[in-house]
Amino acid sequence: MEDNISLGEPVFDKMMFVLKSPITDDNHKYYKFNDEEMQEIAEDVWAMPAYMKEDDDFSMFFILTKIESGETVIAFSQGEMSDGNFSLSEPMVSGNGLNVLNSHDEKSAASVLHFLNQISKANEGDWRMIED
């Protein structure tokens, strides 16, 4: 990750986590978080809970998808319930999603950040600063 940029800081909103390889049927099971497994929710769009608790209406999901550049990124979406139907919000940049989660539950956000940093340490992804 960029030097001196920390979870919870406004500049962290501009950090995007980019995977070195796309998510596929063959490799999605290697990216489990808290025993949750990714599900393909649309073509080349994968989702997995990052924060979901029975006693909390707030929820956050990893969204893994290809962007215009062809790179696969990890973004986040909030789970939303409306008229008994569950949906996901517009995806947020990785850092922004983590900051939103951090403002709700710092310990859980730190755990998600650790998960992403482990992927980076395994040389399977990197943090990048996005342009405005």
Series of mean pLDDT values for 10-residue runs along the chain (132 residues): 78 96 92 93 95 92 94 95 88 97 97 96 95 76
Q: What is the pLDDT of residue 82?
A: 83
Residue of 29, 97, 27, 28 whose CA lies nearest to 62: 97
**pTM (two decimals):** 0.91
